[in-house]
C-alpha cells in the first residue's frame, strides 16, 4: 500500500511538472549538499529559459549525442539497456571502471527530477516507472524543454542558459552548431570537463556530434 501511495504521489508531481517548472530537482539538491560540505555558501548557477529561447542547434546536438531516437520511442530503449548491461558486465569482469548508461533523455529526466546518481537496481526500477509516467503525460517538446533546463553542465552549472553563459558568454538562444555540439559532448562527464577544459577526446566527440546533428529530428 505504501508503495502504491508513493507512486501515486510521484504521478501527481509528474503531471504538475508538465505545466509548471520545478524550482529545483533531486540532482540539483544532492549536488548542492555535496558542495556545501566544503563551502557553506556554495550556490548553483541555473536560469530557466523557455523552449523557444534555446538554440535549435543545441536541441539537435543533445538528441544526437544522448538519444537519437528520442522522437519515436516510448521512453525506454530496451536494446540499448541490454547492450549497456553486457558491456558493463564485461568491464567489471576485467576490473575496468568505464561504464555505459543506455538511458534515454526521458530516463535521464526522471533521474534528474526525482532520484539520485546512486547506482542500484531499486533506483533503476523506479527510474523506469517514472519514465513511463513522463511519457504518458508530457509532450516530447516539454520533456526536452525540462531536460535542457535541468541537465548538469558543470560542477555547479545546471541548464542550457547557465552553460551557455559559463562556457561561451552568450545566451542559450545564440549558441552555434560547434558550441552546441561541444556542450552536448560534455553531458556524460560535466564536472570533469568543467574542471579540465577542452580535451582531445572532447574535440573529437564534438566533431562527431556536429556531423550527426543534421540527421536527427527534434520537436
All cell numbers assigned to 70: 528520442
Q: If we measure between CA atoms, which residue out of 136, 130, 147, 159 comes closest to residue 219?
A: 147
User: What is the model's pLDDT at position 76?
Assistant: 84
pTM confidence score: 0.91
- Domain extent, residue 207, equals 2-215
What pLDDT does residue 80 have?
Answer: 63
105 and 147 Cβ atoms separated by less than 8 Å:
yes
Rounded alpha-carbon distances, angstroms, from residue 23 to 146, 149, 170, 171, 175: 12, 11, 23, 20, 25
Please answer whether residues 62 and 176 qualify as being in contact, where contact means their C-beta atoms are separated by less than 8 angstroms.
no
| Predicted pLDDT of residue 142 | 98
**pLDDT per position as a tens digit, 86-124:** 655 555 556 655 445 569 999 999 999 999 888 888 888
CA pair distance 141, 145, nearest whole angstrom? 6
Number of domains in the chain: 1
Q: What is the pLDDT of residue 211?
A: 96
pLDDT computed for residue 90 by the predictor: 55
101: phi then psi, degrees, rounded to nearest 5? -95, -50
All three cell numbers of 2? 505504501
**What pLDDT, on a 0 to 100 scale, did the predictor assign at position 170?**
98
CATH number at residue 177: 1.10.3810.10
Give the model confidence (pLDDT) of 29-68 as tens digits.
999 999 999 999 999 999 999 999 999 999 999 999 999 9
User: Does 82 score more than 70 pLDDT?
Assistant: no
Query: What is the DSSP secondary structure assignment for residue 152, as one 8-state letter?
Result: B
Are 112 and 151 spatial neighbours (Cβ–Cβ below 8 Å)? Answer: yes
Compute the mean pLDDT over every residue in the chain, rounded to the nearest whole number.
91
In eight-state DSSP terms, residue 182 is H
Q: How far apart are CA 79 and CA 77, in angstroms?
A: 6
Nearest one of 52, 53, 60, 50 to 177, comparing CA atoms: 60
Please check whether residue 58 is in contact with residue 180, taking contact to mean a CB–CB distance below 8 angstroms. Answer: yes
Find the angle CA(30)-CA(12)-CA(19) to the nearest 5 degrees.
85
Amino acid at each position: 500500500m505504501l508503495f502504491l501511495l508513493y507512486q501515486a504521489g510521484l504521478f501527481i508531481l509528474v503531471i504538475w511538472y508538465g505545466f509548471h517548472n520545478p524550482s529545483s530537482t533531486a540532482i540539483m539538491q544532492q549536488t548542492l549538499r555535496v558542495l556545501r560540505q566544503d563551502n557553506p555558501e556554495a550556490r548553483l548557477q541555473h536560469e530557466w529559459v523557455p523552449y523557444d529561447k534555446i538554440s535549435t542547434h543545441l536541441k539537435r546536438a543533445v538528441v544526437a549525442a544522448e538519444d537519437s531516437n528520442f522522437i519515436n520511442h516510448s521512453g525506454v530503449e530496451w536494446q540499448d539497456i541490454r547492450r549497456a548491461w553486457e558491456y558493463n558486465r564485461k568491464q567489471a569482469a576485467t576490473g575496468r571502471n568505464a561504464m555505459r548508461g543506455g538511458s534515454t533523455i526521458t530516463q535521464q529526466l526522471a533521474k534528474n527530477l526525482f532520484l539520485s546518481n546512486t547506482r542500484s537496481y531499486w533506483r533503476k526500477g523506479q527510474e523506469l516507472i517514472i519514465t513511463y509516467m513522463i511519457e504518458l503525460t508530457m509532450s516530447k517538446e516539454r520533456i526536452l524543454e525540462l531536460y535542457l533546463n535541468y541537465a548538469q553542465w558543470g560542477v555547479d552549472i545546471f541548464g542550457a542558459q547557465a552553460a551557455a553563459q559559463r562556457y561561451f558568454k552568450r545566451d542559450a538562444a545564440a549558441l552555434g552548431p560547434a558550441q552546441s555540439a561541444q556542450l552536448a559532448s560534455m553531458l556524460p562527464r560535466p564536472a570533469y570537463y568543467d574542471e579540465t577544459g577542452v580535451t582531445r577526446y572532447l574535440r573529437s566527440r564534438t566533431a562527431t556530434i556536429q556531423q550527426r546533428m543534421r540527421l536527427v529530428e527534434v520537436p
